[in-house]
Structure 1
Amino acid sequence: MSLWSTLAAVASAIQASGAQLFDRIANLVGGGEARNTFAFSAAMIALSAKMAKADGVVTSDEEIAFFSLFDIPPGEERNVARVFDLAKQDVAGFETYARRIASLFTEQPETLIDILDGLFHIAKADGYVHEAELAYLERVAEIFSIEERCFQQIRARHVIDGADPYKVLGIERSASDAEVKRQYRRQVTESHPDRLIARGVPEEFVRIANDRMAALNEAWRQVSLERGI
């Protein structure tokens, strides 16, 4: 059974008690990378569904962005949609979901950053991040214990025009040329698709890595031109 079919089967078995989904996944697949992959996918589905309602309206752009972010195999769309709809309908609030997800990745905080990055991608699908969506993302970041500087770095990566390249790189303007180079290389290494997959991000979700790399490379291009390095 595929990842998507299994998620749908688990969600169906617990009758939309979404906050329990992650416990069931952990029990179903045990520990290690397999659990992380299932948990990551379930987290993205659940939090995306909750965020889609954050501004009061679930738009087609947001749902399309969600499905485009995953490279869902033909025939599995219905299973993913089933979990997405169950999460939208669940009476449990998004904070309950976020806390349960955070507890699964206490030793892998980078994965929580990957999840938040994906949520930003979906939030901007209709052209900009709505105020209610930004408040949602800030609260999720708080529950995930993501520092404000890191949150601002993620946010800057998703600004279509006029993003501060130093924020995208996660470094101060006062940093030396050598420090900027080291930070850029560190960020590129951490954003490589292989690193994300090793953290449990499904191969179907590597668009996160590709978009992140593009933002980092553009920020580096701007900074290197400005500094002549």
Structure 2
Amino acid sequence: MIKWAAAFIGFIIRGLAGAIVGFVLGSFLDSLGGSGSKGGGGSVFSDFTRQSVSPADFELNLLSLCSIVIKADGQVSQRELDYVRQYFLSTYGKEKANTIFKTFNDVIKKREISTERICTYLAQRTRYEVRLQLLHFLFGIAQADGQVSKAEVSKLREIAQYLRVGPYDFESIMAMFIKSADNAYKILEIEKSATDDEVKKAYRKMAKKYHPDRVVMENEAIKKGAEEKFKEVQKAYETIQKERGMS
């Protein structure tokens, strides 16, 4: 497809900015040929973005963040690559996914990417709910090889800061992927010393934040992500209930 070829050429010449320009121009040329309306249903994040960022821009930046996380520990894990590939397959279908993944492989191998620049761009143009979902997705990539390394946690924390995701939300999402003694409390964003009433209040707050009914859209992938986080919140609350004998 023209847009991905143009994005790759632009990336080599002018970095991320060139890739974005190339992608947009290529998308326009694709649409003239009628190919832009065919294929998959678009990025699972696209319905959450503000009008100031196009789906094409968002997807290109998403590709870059995926590569940053995969390279965070100094090695490119095949399991992490497969995780990203599966996302593309489920979102776009086999033919388009293969084209996208070729560009993705080139990005990983050939160019260093500015984490701050990408995240600042997204933070200014996406809603907070998207950034939480995006961070959750990136943690999924890091965990795909069986564990989230210290280097990956450090990079994900940096990404979260640039995305303007609050520290409590970051710790809550991280606790869904990295198990610890106080995991349930971290997911509910409270201290272990919290009273029973504070635990119940925290649960209601987190259940409301991650309840699938708050994701008003038809995209099944986003709904599934919301359901997974909601289940983790429920599980955390039930764990604390059992520990404390709460009713």
Amino acid at match of 2:114: G
Mark the CA change 1:40 to 1:52 in structure 2 (over 3 Å): closer, same or farther: same
Structure 2 residue identity aligned to 1:123: A
In structure 1, what is the Cα distance between the partners aligned to 2:75 and 2:97?
Answer: 22
Q: In the alignment, which residue of structure 1 is the partner of 2:102?
A: 82
User: Residue 98 of structure 1 is aligned with which of 74, 95, 119?
Assistant: 119
Which structure's relative contact order is higher, taking Cα pairs within 8 Å and 6+ residues apart? 1
C-alpha spacing 1:40/1:118, structure 2 compared with 1 (3 Å): farther
Question: Secondary structure of 1:77's partner?
Answer: helix
Whole-angstrom distance in 2 between the partners of 1:39 and 1:183: 36
The CA distance in 2 between the partners of 1:13 and 1:193, in whole Å, is 40
**Residue 8, structure 1, aligned to residue 4, structure 2:** yes
Is 1:226–2:247 an aligned residue pair? no
Find the aligned partners of 2:192 and 2:107 in 1 and give their Cα distance: 42
Query: Given the alignment of the two structures, is residue 19 of structure 1 paired with residue 16 of structure 2, yes or no?
Result: yes
Counterpart of 1:104 in structure 2: which amino acid? R
Matches within 5 A, 1:198-213: 203-213=220-230
Unmatched 5+ stretches in structure 2: 29-48
Looking at structure 1, the residues matched to 99 and 146 of structure 2 have their Cα atoms a distance apart, in angstroms, of 28
- Corresponding residue for residue 166 of structure 1: 185
Q: What residue is the counterpart of 1:140 in the other structure? A: 159
Q: Distance in 2 between the 1:83 and 1:34 partners?
A: 24
Q: Does the alignment pair 1:55 with 2:65?
A: no
Which deviates more from structure 2 when the two are superposed, residues 11-20 or residues 143-152? 11-20
157-166 vs 35-44, which moves further: 35-44
1:189 deviation in Å?
2.9
Q: TM-score, normalised by structure 1?
A: 0.77
What is the identity, as a one-letter code, of the residue corresponding to 1:191?
A: Y
Cα deviation per residue 1:13-71 (whole Å; 9 max; x = unaligned)?
A: 63455532567779989x84694655554333220112111111111111112233452
> 2:215 & 2:85 partners in 1: Cα distance?
19
Seen in structure 2, the aligned counterparts of structure 1 residues 78 and 68 have a Cα distance that, compared at 3 Å, is: closer
2:137: which partner in 1? Answer: 118
Alpha-carbon distance in structure 2 between the residues aligned to 1:208 and 1:132: 25
The amino acid of 1:81's aligned partner reads: F
Q: Radius of gyration: which is bigger?
A: 2
Q: Distance in 2 between matches of 1:109 and 1:33?
A: 14
Among 63, 67, 84, the residue aligned to 1:45: 63
Contact 2:70–2:77 at 8 Å: present in 1 too? yes
Q: Call closer, same or farther: CA 1:22–1:14 in 2, change over 3 Å.
A: closer
Show CA shifts across 1:110-168 (max 9, x none).
32222111111110111111122111111111212223222211111112464520101
Alpha-carbon distance between aligned partners in 2 of 1:177 and 1:126, rounded to the nearest angstrom: 37
The normalised TM-score by structure 2 is: 0.72
Gaps of 5+ in 1: none
Partner residue, 1:182: 201
